[in-house]
Structure 1
Amino acid sequence: MTTDSGESSDTMRGRAAGDTRLLWFLLDADRWLVTALLSGVLLCGILVVGLLHPKPAMTLLTRGDPVETLFQALITGTITAVTLVLTLNQLVLSQELGAVGDQRERMNGSMQFRADVADAVDTPVSPAEPSAFLRSLVRGTTERAENTQNAVDETALDDDLTALLSNYLEDVRTNADSVTDQLEGGTFGEFDVVKAALNYNYSWKLYAGRRIREAYADELTDEIDDSLAELVETLELFGPAREHFKTLYFQWELSDLSRTLLYVAIPALTVAITSLLFLDVQDFVGVTAGVPDALWLLAVTTTASLLPFTVLISYILRIVTITKRTLAIGPFILRETNRSVDVDWE
């Protein structure tokens, strides 16, 4: 059994392919900042196309009724976005509605899982706050890894096996200590808690621990094997815990998105309607900073009218990015990685 020297990073940023600045934009950046950047790109795009077009902007804007057609479409689109908000709210509410029997079943499942975690981390009652709950689980894997390492140190094993176990257990402890620090003081509803959970590369650790136990079942002592089994069991609990809090975070984000869209829909509709009724580009014949005033006005009003859509995009970008990076639960690694534990099964 061998371990590749080229190991992938434990952190989500380190495992990301390509420029990590894109990952910061998709996940870490404040959603209002992302909205502002998207709106800025839209505004600049309209100005650049208007300036680079072979025909003058005023000629294009006064030929036919492009401005009226544009804002009629924007009004319809904004009203549709508000309808989408109601649909999102129904999606979130549907997770909370149900008969008393269904609610009791959910409650029993939650209490049983909390009891399992309490047993795994040797505490009478598992923490109630999400970041503390995850932190206790991660700290539990550290303690299990330390117990296993102590058992390894007290046992005369093959040098290669000792090195393999020590490297694996050191990786578990290092990653767990880092994530524990990140979860310290985290508040649910903020992305930091989910980000810290994503930085715990439990999938590979679960896979590697099970492979080691299977491949070296005849060489491991009962004490080492039992300690490894406890570590694997604790890692198995982290998966559903992370998925549960990720689901709650998505519901939280969708609720925030719905409320934010409702806030910006009225101003956006106001701009679109007043532009449709009162905007006449022929009244703006001046030039500011080398750009026709009519083009400035059209770019600004269009960007403001599309604010609900840029807000929607900024939130959805984070949600779909998290979803893509957490499609699998348990010892499944969907991305390319050089980190592996190769076992000769023959």
Structure 2
Amino acid sequence: MGSSDRDDPLESSRGDTGDRTDLSTRVREWVLIEGDRLFITISLTLATFVLFFTLNELGVVSFVNEGSVTRVASGLIAGTFSLVTLVVSINQLILSQEFATAGEVRAELEGVTEFRHDLEDRTDVPASPAAPTRILEVLVEAVHHRAADLETAIDGHGDAALEDRVDRYVASVQTSAERLDETLERTSFGTFNAVSALIEYDNDRQVYAARYLRGQYALDLSDEQRGAFDDLTETLRLFDVAQEHFKTTYLQRELTRFSQLTIYSGVPAILAAITIGLLYADIGGASVAVRSLPLLVSALIAVVVSPLALLVSYILRTATVTRRTASVGPMLPQKDPDDRPLEVQSDERDR
């Protein structure tokens, strides 16, 4: 059974962990995923201050006209109130997921317990680890061993094409597993680090390729060989369960933290917007020296923008994580325009 190189499912087409050699890619990944959210928020806030101060120095904007500035201040106050209200709504949505009956809590606990039992059965460990990244390390080791068992089971099959395709598939799986293991060794044991590593691991395509090969050669495989395919597939599927569990936990914690920080920054932002309007409340014009207005108003605008900067930094990461983990299992959309499609073509053997 063959397929074209372009449509070959045996190779992972998504960039694996450790492949980010391009500078622009590394910068993009740092901004979207890896960078500290507070640092990005502060950077955006400082950039706002520098932008408005520079525009004033260049004569593009001016803070002398009290009518214009007070109208802007009114808009900033309304916008900040709206943003804080939006964040409160998000927080309420998160809290609604935390309310559950005793039966729902029991079902959730049983689901987690069942996953841990499956993990222990597949990985031959006495008890599944508690730390998220440690769980992934155990899974990676199990995938590596199951892939080696599959290669051993297929060796000597007699069909050179099947052996070659399985060898290439196993090499791809083990390479991805080794890269993920290297990434996990460099990370701490936090939930986000587990999610960050998981979204780079192309287990969906690996499950698809294993099922594809097993289905195409089903009549030519022994029970032992089919069992080797099934063992690897079931171990890979545990990644999907772990990914969804860690992603849900991460998003709950991240959005809750975002809500807290928005409230903390929202009060100073509203006070700063009110201060901008009060600077021009005097009938004679601004109550501070004209030469000090650009510096003071630019700083106040930056404070007002800080909740928006916080929103941008957090939503960039949560939206990226959600988009990259939007599917469960091999029925997944193409995740990148450069990805090769999942479909495969039949060859003469199927005709």
Measured at CA, do residues 124 and 174 of structure 1 come closer, stay the same or move farther in structure 2, by a change above 3 Å? same
Matched, 1:26 2:54: no
- In the superposition, relative to structure 1, how do residues 204 and 333 fare at CA in structure 2: closer, same or farther (>3 Å)? farther
Alignment partner of 1:176 is 2:182: no
Q: Distance in 2 between matches of 1:218 and 1:52?
A: 76
Question: Which of 36, 39, 44 matches 1:38?
Answer: 44
Q: How many angstroms apart in 2 are the aligned matches of 1:151 and 1:193?
A: 32
Answer yes or no: is the 8 Å Cα contact 1:31–1:314 preserved in 2. yes
Matches of 1:3 and 1:235, distance apart in 2: 25
Task: Assess if the C-alpha contact under 8 Å between 2:45 and 2:302 holds in 1.
Answer: yes
- Any conservation in 2 of the 1:3–1:340 contact (CA below 8 Å)? no
Question: Could you tell me how far apart the structure 2 residues matched to 1:15 and 1:218 are?
Answer: 41
- Compute the displacement of 1:341 (Å): 7.4
Q: Deviations over 1:256-306 (max 9, x none)?
A: 1112112222322332222322355474333xxxxxx43333222111111
Contact 1:272 1:301 in 2 (8 A): yes
Amino acid at match of 1:66: S
Q: Are the equivalent residues in 1 in contact too, given 2:334–2:341 (CA < 8 A)? A: no
Give the CA deviation at 1:340: 5.3
**Is the Cα contact below 8 Å between 2:12 and 2:206 reproduced in 1?**
no
Rounded to whole Å, the distance in 2 between the matches of 1:162 and 1:15 is: 31
Provide the rounded CA distance (Å) in 2 between the counterparts of 1:16 and 1:120: 34
CA shift for structure 1 position 57:
2.4
CA deviation vs aligned residue, 1:141-166 (integer Å, no higher than 9, x gap): 1111011122233x243222212111
Counterpart in the other structure of 1:263 = 264
- In the superposition, relative to structure 1, how do residues 246 and 16 fare at CA in structure 2: closer, same or farther (>3 Å)? farther
Which position in structure 2 is the counterpart of 1:80? 82
- Asked if structure 2 preserves the Cα contact closer than 8 Å seen for 1:7 and 1:339, the reply is no
CA distance, structure 2, for counterparts of residue 16 and residue 81 of structure 1: 38
Single out whichever of 253-262 and 331-340 deviates more from structure 2. Answer: 331-340
Q: Secondary structure of the residue that 2:218 maps to in structure 1?
A: coil
Decide whether the 8 Å contact of 1:120 with 1:140 is kept in 2: yes
Is the partner of 1:95 in helix, strand or coil?
helix
Q: TM-score, normalised by structure 1?
A: 0.86
Q: Structure 1 95/48 Cα, relative in aligned 2: closer, same or farther at 3 Å?
A: same
SS of 1:164's equivalent in the other structure is helix
Q: Secondary structure at the match of 1:2?
A: coil
**Distance of 1:30 and 1:178 partners within structure 2:** 23
Residues 156/162 of structure 1: CA separation in 2 closer, same or farther (3 Å cut): same
Residue identity (%)? 32
Unmatched 5+ stretches in structure 1: 287-292
Distance in 1 between the 2:345 and 2:130 partners? 40
Q: Which residue of 2 aligns with 1:284?
A: 289
1:1-346 paired onto structure 2 within 5 Å: 1-2=2-3, 4=5, 8-11=13-16, 14=19, 19-20=24-25, 21-47=27-53, 49-50=55-56, 57=62, 61-62=64-65, 65-153=67-155, 155-184=156-185, 186-189=188-191, 191-279=192-280, 281=286, 283-286=288-291, 293-331=292-330, 332-335=332-335, 336=337, 337-338=339-340, 342-344=344-346, 345-346=350-351
For residues 16 and 339 of structure 1, the distance between their equivalents in structure 2, rounded to whole angstroms, comes to 24
Inter-partner Cα distance in structure 2 for 1:198 and 1:177: 15
Any conservation in 1 of the 2:180–2:197 contact (CA below 8 Å)? yes
Count of aligned pairs: 334
Please tell me whether the aligned partners of residues 261 and 311 of structure 1 are also in contact (alpha carbons under 8 angstroms). Answer: yes
Quote the offset at 1:172 in angstroms.
0.8
Q: Which amino acid aligns with 1:70?
A: V
- Structure 1 stretches of at least 4 aligned residues deviating more than 6 Å after TM superposition: 15-18
Alignment deviations for residues 78-113 of structure 1 (CA, whole Å, 9 cap, x no partner): 233333332222222212211111111211222122
State the superposition RMSD in angstroms: 2.8
Report the CA distance shift for 1:343/1:211 in structure 2 as closer, same or farther (over 3 A): farther
How many Å separate the matches in 2 of 1:231 and 1:173? 12
Asked if the contact 1:8–1:15 (Cα under 8 Å) also holds between the matched residues in 2, the reply is no
* Distance (whole Å) between structure 1 residues aligned to residue 240 and residue 214 of structure 2: 20
Which secondary structure state, in structure 2, belongs to the residue aligned with residue 342 of structure 1? coil
Distance 1:94 1:7, change over 3 A: closer
Question: How far apart are residue 234 of structure 1 and its match?
Answer: 1.1
What letter is aligned with 1:232?
A: T
- Indicate the SS of the match to 1:42: helix
User: In 2, Cα distance between the equivalents of 1:50 and 1:179?
Assistant: 49
Shift of residue 325 of structure 1? 1.4
CA contact (8 A) 1:197 1:242 kept: yes
Distance 2:21 2:250 in 1: 22
Q: Give me the whole-angstrom Cα distance separating, in 2, the residues matched to 1:236 and 1:307.
A: 41
Of residues 180-189 and 228-237 in structure 1, the stretch that sits farther from structure 2 once superposed is: 180-189
Q: Deviations 1:228-279 (Å, cap 9, x if unpaired)? A: 1110111122112201110110001011111211222232233222232235
CA–CA distance in structure 2, aligned partners of residues 128 and 121 of structure 1: 15
